[in-house]
Amino acid sequence: MSFEEKRAWIYAVIALGVPVVYFAVVLGRLRDAAVADVAYVWPLLIATGAAMLLNMVATIAAGAASPKDVLPKDERDVGLDRRGEYVGFHVMSLVALVPLGLAMAGVEHFWIANAIYLAFVLSAFASAVVKIVGYRRGF
Chain CA centroid to CA 32, Å: 28
Confidence at residue 74, expressed as pLDDT on a 0 to 100 scale: 86
- pLDDT-derived band at 2 (thresholds 50, 70, 90) equals confident
Confidence at residue 36, expressed as pLDDT on a 0 to 100 scale: 86
Confidence at residue 46, expressed as pLDDT on a 0 to 100 scale: 97
CB burial of residue 8 (10 Å; 0-12, 13-18, 19+): buried
CB burial of residue 72 (10 Å; 0-12, 13-18, 19+): exposed
First to last CA, the chain: 16
Q: Which position has the higher pLDDT, 93 or 69?
A: 93
Q: Is the pLDDT of residue 139 over 80?
A: no
26 within 8 A of 114, measured Cβ to Cβ: yes
**Mean pLDDT, to the nearest integer, of 54-74?**
90
Confidence at residue 85, expressed as pLDDT on a 0 to 100 scale: 96
Q: Which position has the higher pLDDT, 114 or 74?
A: 114
Residue 124 in 3-state DSSP?
helix
Please give the DSSP secondary-structure letter assigned to residue 57. H
Radius of gyration of the chain (CA): 17
Tell me the percentage of the chain whose pLDDT exceeds 90: 78
